[in-house]
């Protein structure tokens, strides 16, 4: 791809749900209700686990963190989409897009790691009930959660760095949020940093 076809992107244009402003307002209220329901439900779970001493066990501790991650995932994407629908706008800044990708991947990866940990927790509780309180004590649970969050943020850094290491030929994203596959389609070279490193490693 020639250099003259490359451009410095200062902002991205997200996909509109509709070009009709009245429909955009309808989408805003629809997503607002869904977002409010999701956040309220998860915060009720977090509050119940935090304030009810009967729920102070590793299983509910993991469940509380899972609810927190779910709030993070929807909060990264939905509010910006709602604001764009309300303001009849499509723009998201370059920095905002980077932050959205980083936070979304971080929360999603943490979610995946935590679900794996919760499966292990149930395995220990069912298959080794007499050793459960020794193997899954509060110290171990806290260390596991620190590992889950740190691993998620490391995944976020890795994927965000790889995605935005390329030059973009256009700024029009065919999605209502900054999604990595759609961003890579905007690349002038069609090759990001992670793919280049993987190719060099295989050839070596």
Range name among 109-113, 165-169, 194-198 with the lowest pLDDT average = 194-198
Quickly tell me which residue has 């709030």 as its tokens. Answer: 71
First to last CA, the chain: 26
Tens digit of each residue's pLDDT (9 = 90 or more) over 178-199: 998 888 888 876 555 555 544 4
Quickly tell me which residue has 């009709």 as its tokens. Answer: 20
pLDDT number for residue 193: 53
- d(C-alpha 163, C-alpha 9), whole Å: 14
In this structure, the chain runs to a length of 204
> Which pTM value belongs to this model?
0.82
- d(C-alpha 167, C-alpha 133), whole Å: 52
Decide if 188 contacts 3 (C-beta within 8 A).
no
Of residues 195, 11, 196, the one with CA closest to residue 98 = 11
- d(C-alpha 122, C-alpha 33), whole Å: 34
- d(C-alpha 146, C-alpha 33), whole Å: 32
């Amino acid at each position: 791809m020639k250099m003259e076809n490359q451009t410095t992107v200062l902002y991205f244009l997200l996909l509109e749900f509709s070009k009709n402003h009245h429909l955009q307002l309808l989408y805003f209220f629809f997503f607002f209700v869904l977002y409010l329901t999701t956040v309220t439900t998860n915060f009720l779970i977090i509050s119940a686990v935090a304030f009810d001493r009967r729920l102070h066990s590793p299983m509910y501790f993991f469940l509380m963190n899972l609810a927190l991650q779910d709030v993070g995932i929807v909060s990264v994407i939905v509010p910006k989409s709602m604001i764009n629908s309300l303001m009849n706008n499509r723009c998201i800044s370059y920095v905002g897009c980077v932050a959205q990708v980083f936070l979304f991947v971080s929360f999603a990866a943490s979610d995946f790691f935590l679900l794996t940990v919760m499966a292990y927790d149930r395995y220990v509780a069912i298959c080794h009930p007499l050793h459960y309180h020794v193997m899954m004590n509060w110290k171990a649970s806290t260390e596991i959660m620190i590992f889950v969050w740190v691993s998620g943020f490391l995944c976020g850094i890795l994927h965000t760095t790889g995605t935005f290491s390329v030059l973009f030929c256009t700024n029009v994203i065919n999605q209502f949020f900054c999604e990595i596959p759609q961003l890579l389609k905007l690349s002038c070279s069609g090759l990001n940093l992670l793919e280049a490193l993987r190719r060099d490693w295989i050839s070596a």
